[in-house]
Amino acid sequence: MSIFGHTLPLSADQLRQLGRVGVLLGGESSEREVSLMSGNAILDALRVAGIETVAIDLKGNSAAIEQLLNADIDRAFIALHGPGGEDGRIQAVLEFLNIPYTGSDVQASALAMNKLHSKQLWRGIGLPTPDFEILSPNSNWVQILESLGGSAMVKPAHEGSSIGMAPVSSAAELAEAFTAAAALDSSVLVERLLTGAEYTVAIVDGVVLPPIRLETDNTFYDYEAKYIDEDTRYICPCGLSESKENELKALALTAFNSLACKGWGRVDFMANEAGEFFLLEVNTVPGMTSHSLVPIAAAAVGVNFEGLVAKIILDTLPS
């Protein structure tokens, strides 16, 4: 028994209901390699649980329907990261084919994937997120940087895994970072750089898992810190007081629900020097690699990787 109730071993009836599970992985986004790592870890866990599985490396939008039909699956575990996998497109294809899938639906996936629209929604309902500006080739770099306090973070609106992100502290750096980010995404934003601690909070089927504090010796928690470095520190318990941890968890759930997300996901935060929390983004298909955060949070409450994966796929069954 765990915080999710009974998950493993699965009963014969559960295995029958689940049928053949397709793990969607790879794809063609800039996060392909991370997706392959996540997907293969999920495949191994599903097989340990006795579930019939097949790996489906989607090769592009035009071939997706044919690949899914040929795989003859009963449901899908989405392990695709980035555009095409987290932005509602594959979710729409699966709904068209009447194939149940893990995680958030088309609309929530699209909204959460867009950092700009997420921040605009949160501002509209009074949730805290760092001050930001939308960038264009005609932006006044000096004025924008001054309005954000002199230090900022440039972000492509639709990329994940910190791809295309860059900290800046001069107008020249801002212009250069915009050019690099704009090569990846048609929408680029820049937000005030906060210098407090970084936290992440995982949510699985409405259960808010213990927050993790992230520490890296890199300039920020970038792609290398997330997937390559062995000295990135994942601190859980995160060191907050009980009241501050409860505040962070409540804010995570409110932000997750505000985008109509469901199933599972992860909410990322920065704190300022005063310890106030600010929303960065919601990830609707978080990583599931050896460095990934949702499995670390689950382990903190006694749920191993196989049990976590089983819970996520079981949520695709009718309630």
Q: 53-78: per-residue pLDDT in tens?
A: 999 998 766 678 899 999 999 999 99
What is the C-alpha separation between 167 and 154, in angstroms, rounded? 6
Catalytic residues: 31, 161, 227, 266, 268, 281, 283, 287
Q: Tokens for 124, please give them.
A: 């509209």
What's the CA gap between 103 and 303, in Å, rounded?
A: 19
> What are the beta bridge partners of residue 198?
214, 270
Structural domains counted in the chain: 3
Report yes or no on 314 lying in a domain.
Answer: no
Q: What is the radius of gyration, based on Cα positions, of the chain?
A: 19
Tell me, yes or no, whether 53 lies in a domain. Answer: yes
Residue 222 belongs to what domain range? 112-128+195-299
Question: Which of these, 75, 74, 69, lies nearest to 102 by C-alpha position?
Answer: 75
Contact (Cβ atoms closer than 8 angstroms) between residue 317 and residue 253: no
Pairing of strands 132-134, 188-192: antiparallel
- The residues pairing with 283 across neighbouring beta strands, listed in sequence order, are 266
Question: What is the rounded distance in angstroms from the CA atom of residue 227 to the CA atom of residue 203?
Answer: 21
CB 135 within 8 A of CB 155: no
Residue 124 placed within a domain: yes
> Do 268 and 218 belong to one domain?
yes
Domain membership flag for residue 23: yes
Assess if residue 2 is contained within a domain.
no
Q: Name the DSSP class of 108.
A: H
Would you state the pLDDT for residue 63?
78
- Is 99 contained in some domain? yes
Listing DSSP states for 28-71 in one string gives SSTTHHHHHHHHHHHHHHHHHTT-EEEEEE---HHHHHHHHHHH
Mark the ranges of the chain whose per-residue pLDDT is less than 70. Answer: 1-2, 5-6, 60-62, 160-162, 217-230, 290
* 142 & 204 share domain: no
The answer to whether residues 117 and 220 belong to one domain is yes
* pLDDT 10s digits, 302-318: 999 999 999 999 999 99
Domain membership of residue 163 (yes or no) is: yes
Give the pLDDT of residue 204.
97
User: What CATH number is given to the structural domain containing 178?
Assistant: 3.30.1490.20
- 242 burial (CB, 10 Å; 0-12 / 13-18 / 19+) is exposed
Residue for token digits 């929303």?
Answer: 279
Do 117 and 216 belong together in one domain? yes
> How many CB atoms lie under 10 A from the CB of residue 178?
23
- Please answer whether residues 155 and 168 qualify as being in contact, where contact means their C-beta atoms are separated by less than 8 angstroms: no
Residue 318 falls inside a structural domain:
no
